């Protein structure tokens, strides 16, 4: 199976900076939400320092913060930003913590709004923390369900988005989410564009791990409008539902080139048990060499050493121009090989260096 969240979380404390950074990158790209990810990041900061623990922490796409972890994160963010310029690396790490808090579910940050407001006042680095919007989202948690549902009739787009999120927090939004996502299947008058509910539903499922809409979302992945297809792609990655892989297997051959590329991206980032097998099944169905090369890249980045020979073949066959796209993640091969197939490491290292160059350090 593909390299697991458990393995990657363990390597967030690895002695090699490149292994730590690559592990965090894969976890972030998969929208992994295990609370121990944040705990391991903080432990790495304490051991190696914020400047040296990870290459690109301020640039990661996702960091889950549970409600229980909010006090620790707020204290850390305040400490890390105090007296520092906003261009300072440690301060930028603090800014990423503030940004991550702001996109969590409202019920997670609502009890700490006072502390969050105080935090924002301490440094300009927290410019991405939208206090008014967060206050509105938190206030909606106390509104009656009937009041929230009225917003779908005459509310502004922002009101609809907040109402939908609040109903989802209560487990009462399925009807509205489905209606919103299915509205994308209807012809949209160019003058009007998509409905507010359609936009809100798609944005909601792209911000949280929400399952149950995989068939409709995969249809949107093959849409020409990049903004719509990208949100649908993110939504499916967040859900990490094995059903998504089954649907891709059924529909892949009939998709356009961009749909195929996004589908490969979904499989790669979900990192599920059957992901590498599915990639190999889909490769010959790729519409052209670009798609087939992307399939090989996806297989390499899944790091499924149960199928080591296939993994090595994919690495050796990817186009030369694509090697730089994956070099950031390759250091993961060392701890993975030692854990799963230590007797093969010398051969794996030799083949990797054939393409990476002898100057590239591995193990």
Q: For residue 297, give the nearest of 272, 328, 335 by alpha carbon.
A: 328
The predicted-structure confidence for 274-314, as pLDDT tens digits, reads as follows 999 999 999 999 999 999 999 999 999 999 999 999 999 99
CA 168 vs. chain centroid, Å, equals: 20
Q: What is residue 193's predicted lDDT score, i.e. its pLDDT?
A: 63
| pLDDT for residue 334 is more than 80 | yes
pLDDT at 178: 96
Q: Is residue 318 a part of any domain in this protein?
A: yes
- Paired tokens of 359: 């100057």
User: CB-based contacts of 16: which residues, under 8 Å, 6+ apart?
Assistant: 331, 334
Interatomic CA distance for residues 84 and 359, integer angstroms: 37
Which pLDDT value is given to residue 186?
76
Number of other CB atoms surrounding residue 115 within 10 Å = 17
Residue 347 has pLDDT above 90, yes or no: yes
What pLDDT band is residue 188 in, cutting at 50, 70 and 90? low
Does any domain span residue 306?
Answer: yes
pLDDT of amino acid 361? 85
244 lies in some domain: yes
Q: Which of 26-30, 66-70, 237-241, 321-325 has the lowest mean pLDDT?
A: 321-325
Alpha-carbon distance of 83 to 138, in angstroms, equals 30
**Residue 362: band (very low, low, confident or very high) from pLDDT cuts 50, 70, 90:** confident
State if pTM tops 0.85.
yes
Q: Does residue 50 form part of some domain? A: no
Give the pLDDT of residue 194: 80
User: Per the domain annotation, does 99 fall within a domain?
Assistant: no
C-alpha–C-alpha distance, residues 34 and 65, integer Å: 9
Can you give the residue range of the structural domain that contains 260? 237-323
Domain contains 195 = no
Sign of CA dihedral 213, 214, 217, 219: negative
Give the pLDDT confidence score for residue 152 in this predicted structure: 94
Half-sphere exposure of 75 (CA within 13 A, CB side): 6
The whole-angstrom distance between residue 345's C-alpha and the CA centroid of its chain comes to 30
Cβ count near 322 (within 10 Å):
15
How many structural domains are present in the chain?
1
Per residue in 137-161, pLDDT (tens digit) is: 999 999 999 999 999 999 999 999 9
295 domain residue, yes or no: yes
Residue 135 lies in a domain: no
Q: In this predicted model, what pLDDT tens digit does every residue of 241-261 receive, in sequence order?
A: 999 999 999 999 999 999 999
Tens-digit pLDDT profile for residues 200-221: 999 999 999 999 999 999 999 9
Q: What is the DSSP string of 267-334?
A: HHHH--TTHHHHHHHHGGG-SSHHHHHHHHHHHHHHT-GGGHHHHHHHHHHS-GGGHHHHTTTGGGHH
Cβ contacts of 233 within 8 Å, gap of 6 or more: 221, 262, 265, 266
Mean pLDDT for the chain overall: 95
**Would you say how long the chain is, in residues?**
363
- Whole-angstrom CA distances from 349 to 12, 330, 363 are 22, 10, 8
pLDDT above 90: residue 360:
no
Place of tokens 């988005």: 161
What percent of the chain stands above pLDDT 70?
Answer: 98
pLDDT for 45-101, tens place per residue? 999 999 999 999 999 999 999 999 999 999 999 999 999 999 999 999 999 999 999
**pLDDT for res 93:** 96
């Amino acid at each position: 199976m593909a390299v697991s969240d458990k393995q990657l979380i363990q390597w967030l404390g690895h002695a090699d900076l490149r292994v730590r950074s690559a592990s965090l990158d894969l976890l972030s790209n998969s929208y992994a939400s295990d609370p121990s990810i944040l705990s391991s990041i903080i432990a790495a900061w304490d051991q190696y320092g914020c400047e040296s623990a990870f290459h690109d922490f301020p640039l990661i796409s996702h960091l889950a913060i549970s409600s229980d972890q909010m006090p620790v994160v707020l204290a850390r963010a305040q400490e890390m930003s105090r007296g520092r310029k906003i261009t300072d690396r440690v301060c930028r790490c603090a800014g990423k913590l503030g940004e991550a808090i702001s996109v969590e579910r409202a019920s997670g940050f609502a009890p700490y709004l006072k502390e969050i407001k105080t935090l924002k006042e301490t440094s300009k680095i927290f410019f991405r923390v939208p206090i008014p919007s967060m206050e509105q989202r938190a206030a909606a948690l106390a509104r009656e369900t009937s009041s929230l549902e009225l917003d779908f009739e005459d509310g502004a787009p922002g009101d609809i988005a907040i109402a939908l999120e609040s109903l989802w927090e209560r487990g009462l939004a399925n009807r509205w989410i489905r209606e919103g996502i299915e509205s994308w299947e209807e012809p949209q008058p160019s003058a009007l564009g998509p409905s507010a509910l359609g936009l809100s539903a798609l944005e909601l499922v792209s911000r949280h791990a929400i399952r149950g809409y995989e068939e409709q979302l995969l249809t949107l992945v093959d849409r020409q409008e990049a903004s719509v297809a990208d949100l649908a792609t993110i939504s499916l990655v967040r859900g990490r539902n094995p059903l998504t892989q089954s649907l891709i297997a059924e529909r892949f051959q009939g998709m356009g080139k961009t749909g195929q590329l996004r589908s490969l991206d979904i499989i790669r980032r979900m990192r599920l048990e059957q992901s590498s097998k599915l990639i190999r099944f889909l490769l010959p169905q790729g519409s052209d060499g670009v798609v087939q090369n992307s399939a090989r890249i996806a297989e390499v980045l899944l790091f499924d050493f149960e199928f080591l020979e296939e993994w090595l073949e994919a690495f050796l066959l990817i186009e030369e121009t694509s090697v730089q796209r994956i070099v950031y993640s390759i250091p993961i091969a060392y701890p993975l090989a030692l854990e799963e197939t230590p007797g093969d490491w010398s051969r794996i290292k030799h083949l990797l260096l054939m393409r990476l160059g002898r100057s590239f350090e591995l193990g």
